[in-house]
Amino acid sequence: MAKEKKIKEKQDFEVNGKTYAVRRPKVEEIRKANEVRSKAFNEALQRGDMLREQLESELRKRKLWSDSREKTYQALRKKVLDGEYKLKAGGIKLNRAKKIALEMADSRSEMVSLLSSRTDLDSNTCEGKADAARFNYLFAVCLVYDDNGEPYFENGLDDYLLNQDDAVAIAGASHFYYLLSGSDDVDNQLPENQFLQRFSFVNDDNNLVDEDGRLVDRAGKHIDEQGNLIRWIDDENFESIDTEGRTVNDDGDYDVDFKPFLDDEGDPIEEPEEEDSEEEEEESPKKKAPRKKKAPPKKRAKAKSPKKEAAKAEDDEPETGEEDSEETEEDSEE
């Protein structure tokens, strides 16, 4: 008789050094969540949102699905099932089995991509919105602090809807989904990943590794966590390289000492000096710098009315001075 799997009541996780948890909902919480779902469904139906049974025709109407896409999807699905059968049956070379598993992963990824439009549209159906409302309510009341069991969102659903981008909420939602579905991680349950894990072709995160546990790409070349090609120098240090194995620095430039070019006899060529141009380039920013420190030019005064200028001149005219004497002489001559 198969051993009954123990149901987990709580799943803890860590964010920024602090531990949180998601617990299974209580009976009363489930009852309330079902009421929330029914309300959300009725509201969506009254607004005229489509039902899930109308999804297929709506997808074709919007040209998001077609006979061609359906044919492609079914071909990918068949490839995944055939691969699962071969891995289950065995009797083939291990390298061949590894290739089949990786091809299954690729096919499954393409299937997900094809179904993305269907998934997005399904979330807008009456049922999709109702299911989301139920999940959100349960998650909001079941996300707690691990040390004391107090709810993370004091006001339940309202707080969660206002803070869905919260790092704890994002991490907790995945753990809560796995807890309710009875699976620690859906990816780990896939046949291709189980095979790759069993023979240590991947690490705990399902990333390809070599026999020493170092990350590699599909071609077996070492990579870093960002997927860049690297070459290990020793057990702890590595250097970045290009596709040909040439060393590059952190900026992606080749890390090599330059040597002078050679003439036809093999002698080093003296390259033309570029000191003047370099000096100009170096000096140009220096010359510009003081300009920024100079006071801004004075604004040009606006043109004023001649009458106002004359009046102002009369007011500002000095009582005594050379100009007065010159004007007096001119008057006397006249």
In 3-state terms, what secondary structure has residue 103?
helix
Q: What mean pLDDT comes out for the span 7-31? A: 93
Does residue 330 surpass a pLDDT of 50?
no
Q: What is the mean pLDDT of residues 176-205?
A: 88
Q: What are the CA-CA distances from residue 306 to residues 137, 302, 303, 313 (Å)?
A: 79, 12, 9, 10
With tokens 């070019």, the residue in question is 261
Whether the per-residue pLDDT at 317 is higher than 70: the answer is no
- For residues 168 and 143, give the distance between their C-alpha atoms in angstroms, rounded to a whole number: 9
pLDDT band at 70 (very low <50, low <70, confident <90, very high): very high
The Cβ-side half-sphere exposure at 275, using a 13 Å CA radius, reads 1
Round to whole Å and give the CA distance between 174 and 297: 62
Question: What are the two backbone dihedrals, phi and then psi, of residue 222, each rounded to the nearest 5 degrees?
Answer: -70, 140
- pLDDT tier at 252 (50, 70, 90 boundaries)? confident
SS (H, E, C) 228-285: CEEEECCCCCEEEECCCCCEECCCCCECCCCCCCECCCCCECCCCCCHHHHHHHHHHH
The least confident of 27-31, 172-176, 284-288 is 284-288
- Using a pLDDT cut of 90, give the percent of the chain over it: 65
Burial 118-129 (b: 16+ CB within 10 A, else e): beebbeebbbbb
Alpha helices in 63-202 (DSSP H): 67-89, 94-122, 126-142, 157-162, 167-181, 191-198
d(CA 36, CA 25): 14
What confidence category does residue 273 fall into, taking pLDDT thresholds of 50, 70 and 90?
confident
The rounded radius of gyration (Å) of the Cα atoms in the chain is: 38
Under 8 Å between Cβ of 105 and 195: no
pLDDT over threshold 50, residue 88? yes
The predicted model gives 211-232 an average pLDDT of 94
Number of C-alpha atoms within 13 angstroms, CB side, residue 230? 18
pLDDT tops 60 at residue 286 = no
Domain boundaries along the sequence of the chain:
10-197, 207-283
pLDDT, tens digit (0-9, with 9 covering 90-100), for 120-160:
889 999 999 999 999 999 999 999 999 999 999 999 999 99
